[in-house]
Structure 1
Amino acid sequence: MMRMLPCILLLAGCNNMVQQPRYDAYEESSLFPDGKVMQAPPDGAVALDEPLRAAAARRPAAITLALLKRGEERYGIYCAICHGQDGRGNGYVTTRGFPHPPSYLSPRLRAAPASHFYDVITNGYGVMYSYADRVPPADRWAIAAHIRVLQTAQPFRDAEQEARRAR
């Protein structure tokens, strides 16, 4: 019994851990010279995954069946709602009044390099906002590869025919 007494006393003291003094995010503090609790990262700080993301952004992955399947899956999740399953710009949101995105089958986008699609997913374009925080770089390249499949699988039509078909 005497051996357990120190353990019981130690555990009784742990109740205060729930109600420890702490600072809230925007609270003032005397800990730092600027008086703020939240501090900017030091100069030169790099996120742990940043070198990998930068390397993935520089070069596309090799085209494999697995990459194309991944691109089709990711396209269905992130892109088809606006661009449509076939890439013609007739996705579901356009039936609700959202402007039609450009068709991937247009001559301009057929001639665009795969890096253009990667860049648009990363930075956004026109009404489309950036998906950089949602789609990792490898998946951006996979989506770009799937867009190439959509373009290759569908016959070329002129822009006027595409515009009529999208409506």
Structure 2
Amino acid sequence: MAQSVAFGSVPTRLGDVLAAVTEDGVAATAFQDGPRVRARIAGRLGMAVADDPARTAAARAELAAYFRGELREFTVPLDWRLMSPIQRKVLGTLHGTVPYGKVVTYGELAARSGTGVPARGVGSIMGGNPIPIIVPCHRVVAGDGLGGFSGGDGVESKRWLLTLEGHLPPTLDWDL
């Protein structure tokens, strides 16, 4: 039987966050939902789309709880197939060693991953992370500031996520 991918999204302060879930786990997340986004992810996976809300239920529930400020650690299984071995090593190191509310610099993650990838390369890997939020690339910062972010509204989305996690103090207009 061919594998398939199911999609589900949750409304958040950063827009509808989409989860793409295979039989093995969450393979991708996106800061937007829509037919083109779903088709692009299904195409990258080389899978047919399944209408299977039950398959996405755990990911949707955990994402919703995270955005409400109630979840500090994701437990849904992950499907790492969209990553090269180097990406998997760097993003796996990030996922396993940088907890909620903490950050690491690009250089520190480069050293911690033991891959020989320089800090600039780590930045590129973060920009290509297929599972943002759950694999928390927003927790990787520059040595002199926030650094970049390719998800959602860019650095403002990164700032919002780090404020949600308590790493950055809320501004007067910040709202959960």
Does the alignment reach a TM-score above 0.5? no
| Larger fraction in helix | 1
- Normalized per residue, the structure richer in strand is 2
Q: Which protein shows a greater Rg?
A: 1
Q: TM-score, normalized by length of structure 1? A: 0.26
| Superposition TM-score, scaled by structure 2 size | 0.25
